[in-house]
A and B are shown apart, each in its own frame.
Chain A
Amino acid sequence: AAKDAWCPACGVAALAPGPQRDALLALAKQSILAKLRLPARPSGPQPPARGALLTALRRMRAQRSDAAAPPGMLRDGRVASRRSSTPRSVHLHFRFSQEVAGSTEILQATLYLFWAAPGPGAQPVTVRLLQPDPAGPNMTVASETRLEVQRPGWTTLDVRAAVRSLFGQDIPRLTVELEVPEDWGSPLLSDHSDSHWPFVVTQARARTPHRVHRR
């Protein structure tokens, strides 16, 4: 009735059930959009682009085929190239750019190693830092560290002394030998991406006041 019409909430109750329901649903939509400050309802999530989906599927398939490979099977990486080595040990070579070599003071140097899934129990690993023998072509052991690898993951080793001694050489190169138990195969992760390859973080102070931090 006209008298009820002036109450904003009274008019709706006077409608017949069908139109009343439509009016209430329209009221609900309008108040939600108004309070979310949206001019209209969003179109909903867009499916990812076909190209991105295919790339992701291809990468997943590649990972799965890698996983099918025997555990511990190494693939050549860029950071540490493998040299011919006895079945029990792996050699890693780290080269430093001339820019870092030119700097005089090594503030810190840390070797990062990511262990693949070791066998049951702790696995003993010997890490030797080798340096060229001034008297001949061979390498001498600058330091030796024994590690107990309990589980997969990153291990760090302070190699500051060895890296400091490199910068007397014409080509500063750090050689690391990893010796592992006979049946363990190779300790490093067989990961096709470089994210798990061994690397050395060095912080050096150059002659000029700014710092050089290289990975």
Chain B
Amino acid sequence: GIDCGGDSRMCCRQEFFVDFKEIGWEDWIIQPDGYHMNYCAGLCPLHMAGVPGLAASFHTAVLNRIKAASAAAAVDSCCVPTQRRPLSLLYYDRDSNIVKTDIPDMIVDSCGCT
């Protein structure tokens, strides 16, 4: 996958940091101070459908040209996470017990077109 930057409008991963202090959660979340949530944004034209990100091989590029030429139903695909990581949290629960837990799929590592 590729990271968004410059004027790319194609499907890419947008960096986004959630600072727990900024949302007023630093009193019950002990560690970490925040986390890189990130999200996916950008266009997924037909010929990009079904490939993970845009760092495609030569083979994929040729395949895409064929798809584009086929002008099938002009329905775009969607830019979604293709790789995610868990978020490890150390926090106080409702009874003020200290709990350590790993929440799956909270950090977006890369994006691609469905």
List residues of chain A with CB under 8 Å of any chain B CB.
3-4, 6-10, 12-13, 24-25, 27-29, 31-32, 35-36, 38, 41-46
Interface digits, B17-28 against A, CB 8 Å rule (1 contact, 0 not)? Answer: 010001101011
Known: A12-B39, A45-B96, A46-B96. A3 touches B76 (CB 8 A): yes
- A42 pairs with B91, CB closer than 8 A: yes
Q: Which residues of A contact B93 (CB under 8 A)?
A: 38, 42
Interface digits, B61-90 against A, CB 8 Å rule (1 contact, 0 not)? Answer: 000000000000000101111000001010
List residues of chain B with CB under 8 Å of any chain A CB.
14, 16, 18, 22-23, 25, 27-28, 37, 39-42, 44, 76, 78-81, 87, 89, 91-94, 96, 101, 103-104, 106
Bound together, the chains give a CA A3 to CA B44 distance in angstroms of 12
- Contacting A32 at CB < 8 Å: which of B42, B94, B96, B103? B103
- A24 pairs with B41, CB closer than 8 A: no
Q: Which residues of B contact A24 (CB under 8 A)?
A: 16, 18, 37, 39
Interchain pairs with CB closer than 8 A, number: 72
- A13 pairs with B18, CB closer than 8 A: no
Bound together, the chains give a CA A44 to CA B96 distance in angstroms of 6
Q: Which residues of A contact B39 (CB under 8 A)?
A: 9, 12-13, 24
Bound together, the chains give a CA A4 to CA B14 distance in angstroms of 17
- Contacting A9 at CB < 8 Å: which of B16, B78, B94? B78
- B104 pairs with A35, CB closer than 8 A: yes
- Contacting A35 at CB < 8 Å: which of B78, B94, B106? B106
Bound together, the chains give a CA A6 to CA B114 distance in angstroms of 13
Who on chain B is nearest to A34 by CB?
A: B103
Nearest-neighbour CB distance to chain B for A13, whole angstroms, equals 3
- B14 pairs with A9, CB closer than 8 A: no
- B92 pairs with A13, CB closer than 8 A: no
16 additional contacts, CB 8 Å, given A9-B79, A25-B23, A31-B106?
A7-B79, A9-B78, A9-B80, A10-B78, A12-B39, A12-B41, A13-B39, A24-B37, A27-B37, A28-B37, A35-B106, A36-B91, A36-B101, A38-B94, A42-B93, A44-B92
